A and B are shown apart, each in its own frame.
Chain A
């Protein structure tokens, strides 16, 4: 088992073994499938970008797939998520249609946001994905309202609210966690901590070692978890979700991982070394999960490797289909700004 740093809580082998027994084969396969789909989807999107077919920019989460999949795997179908600019993983894990998603990247009318949102703003409202926010931390206050509505409607649903390490330095983070904890709202705050707010390392942007320590300010549980261990993420978020669902309020989970790519397409990685990036590539969450599954005889080596081919084929089909879709018309754009 790869350990990130000596003081980070990792999924100890006994925990993984227990979860491997508790979770159905179907669930474990789902997790691996989603992780592979996210990886290939982002690689494909990057390829389309390089070929000039996707314009603007995009924020890839390659290397962070365990965080989105491990957390969303704990949800009931009717539960909700709200997330951020690096949100392709959450969107796919929540069950997005890959073709509609690729269509949105390509700015096509049948895309999730009908070509109005793009990579940074994908939402699938009927699917419980309440959208990605491009302003760092901007989704956190909105999640207070979503969770407030759930509480006022006496709903059993919960909300997972994702943001990055950089967002935890925003004023909105403080206001929102304070409010949500005061009202014991059914939300789990998950920090997708990839250790860099654009180019600034967390060690230079805050004076605490773990973002989870900030939970103490709000009187809520805080936990740092090895974000490259999908089962460790699952275990932590499942507990936090039960806490929220039972009316005990939010938890702050610091899901520590690393993005292999730059912040966005303009990033030339001038602030970190190739060695550092290489080291993290060796901690690939997908490869690691496959090994866990093989070691525990849940699947054979051939079976786990087959997920790559299936995911790649699914993504290729989605891209091929989406490329045939029409572009939206610039006429009557104003008609869609306001709801009738």
Chain B
């Protein structure tokens, strides 16, 4: 298998491979969603899966996001392991009653006597020119709901390993797939493997400041770090991988080392997950090591605009991270 370890595939292919391998292992795993059959899914993630698994397990639905979520919830209650694909994360607004009031709560509400093992795969994020209703990053809504886990991989390797873990998890897991990452390539072993949730990874080591990020902001932070390295600023990039459960240890360790932290996410800043991260850091032992205020770089408080320049300006880009990180590196010196 050594040769396979150098194999490079896209993030999209990694997601597909995780599903295919889990479906081969466990006949209770099935995919449910809109246009996932002959069409191959709106982004092509399930391309070819209908041929291997047939229409019963590649379960195409009418355009009915509430019933899709209900179908996944009910099947999970019965012990199956549905993977629900929502076409765009924005459309989860229509599924919310099933996800928030049913899937997330049934276990607790019924005295711990059932479980809901399901995955909600949700293409998220802006940058495709799809404007306000096809570009959102709604993770903050979900992390505020006890009973749901939230995962947001940034690389093909993580996408595969985290999705396998999510499918085997006995709880509802929101799995965010950033649309701009779908075509990114990276090394992914062919054999199946799991990446545990609550295992943030230091994607780049550095001594001067920490950037805490997830999803698309991880590659952007790494690119920014490479530019800053040329100026002598060494940035450490922590990739959360899962927002809930959250690996606070890795964050605290990194921030305690660098003494400076920039939190980066695409979702709007107000009420965004960055506020939670800032509070976690401020309340930890890392607080004693801080040489500068905790800084957040996040989406502006606007719906995602259509115009290319406006769209870029609405969410942090590499150059924004470079500017913010450079300023933070100098703060208080």
A positions within 8 Å CB-CB of B: 82, 111-117, 121, 123, 125-126, 130-131, 133-135, 138-150, 152-153, 171-172, 175-176, 178-179, 182, 334, 336-340
- Tell me, yes or no, whether B42 is within 8 Å of chain A by CB: no
Q: Which residue of B lies closest to A151 (CB)?
A: B56
CB pair B110 A149 closer than 8 Å: no
CB pair B75 A130 closer than 8 Å: no
Q: Which of A82, A141, A172 has the most CB of B within 10 A?
A: A141
A56: shortest Cβ distance to chain B, in Å?
Answer: 13
Given contacts A138-B98, A149-B79, are A176 and B171 in contact (CB under 8 A)? no
C-alpha gap A178/B71 in the complex (Å): 12
Contacting residues, chain A, for B73 (C-beta < 8 A)? 141-142, 145
CB pair B64 A148 closer than 8 Å: no
C-alpha gap A174/B110 in the complex (Å): 27
C-alpha gap A142/B105 in the complex (Å): 13
Q: Which residue of B lies closest to A116 (CB)?
A: B111
- Tell me, yes or no, whether B112 is within 8 Å of chain A by CB: yes
Given contacts A150-B78, A336-B112, are A144 and B70 in contact (CB under 8 A)? yes
B positions within 8 Å CB-CB of A: 30, 56-57, 59, 61-62, 64-67, 69-80, 82, 97-98, 101-102, 106-117, 146-147, 149, 170-171
CB pair A113 B110 closer than 8 Å: yes
CB pair B66 A338 closer than 8 Å: no
C-alpha gap A131/B108 in the complex (Å): 12
C-alpha gap A76/B122 in the complex (Å): 39
CB pair B102 A337 closer than 8 Å: no
CB pair B101 A337 closer than 8 Å: no
A184: shortest Cβ distance to chain B, in Å?
Answer: 13
Contacting residues, chain A, for B71 (C-beta < 8 A)? 141, 144-145, 148, 179
Top 3 nearest A-B pairs (CB, nearest first) are A141-B70, A145-B74, A149-B78
Question: Which of B30, B67, B108 makes the CB contact (< 8 A) with A337?
Answer: B108
Q: Which residue of B lies closest to A115 (CB)?
A: B111
Contacting residues, chain A, for B170 (C-beta < 8 A)? 338-340
B110: shortest Cβ distance to chain A, in Å?
Answer: 4
CB pair A133 B102 closer than 8 Å: yes
Jot down 22 A-B pairs with beta carbons below 8 A, ordered by A. Answer: A113-B113, A116-B111, A121-B109, A123-B106, A123-B110, A123-B113, A125-B113, A131-B110, A141-B66, A141-B74, A144-B70, A145-B71, A145-B72, A145-B74, A145-B77, A145-B82, A147-B74, A176-B67, A178-B62, A178-B67, A179-B71, A339-B115
Contacting residues, chain A, for B82 (C-beta < 8 A)? 145
Q: Which residue of B lies closest to A109 (CB)?
A: B111
C-alpha gap A143/B74 in the complex (Å): 6
Contacting residues, chain A, for B79 (C-beta < 8 A)? 149
Contacting residues, chain B, for A111 (C-beta < 8 A)? 111
CB pair B98 A117 closer than 8 Å: no
CB pair A140 B110 closer than 8 Å: no
Contacting residues, chain A, for B56 (C-beta < 8 A)? 152
Q: Which residue of B lies closest to A130 (CB)?
A: B77
CB pair A337 B62 closer than 8 Å: no
Contacting residues, chain B, for A152 (C-beta < 8 A)? 30, 56-57, 75, 80
C-alpha gap A340/B116 in the complex (Å): 11
A189: shortest Cβ distance to chain B, in Å?
Answer: 13
Q: Which residue of A lies closest to B107 (CB)?
A: A339
A48: shortest Cβ distance to chain B, in Å?
Answer: 20
A112: shortest Cβ distance to chain B, in Å?
Answer: 7
Contacting residues, chain B, for A126 (C-beta < 8 A)? 113
Contacting residues, chain B, for A140 (C-beta < 8 A)? 70
C-alpha gap A242/B7 in the complex (Å): 54
A274: shortest Cβ distance to chain B, in Å?
Answer: 35
Contacting residues, chain A, for B115 (C-beta < 8 A)? 339
CB pair A336 B107 closer than 8 Å: yes
Q: Which residue of A lies closest to B113 (CB)?
A: A125
Contacting residues, chain B, for A339 (C-beta < 8 A)? 107, 112, 115-117, 170-171
A338: shortest Cβ distance to chain B, in Å?
Answer: 5
Contacting residues, chain B, for A143 (C-beta < 8 A)? 70, 74
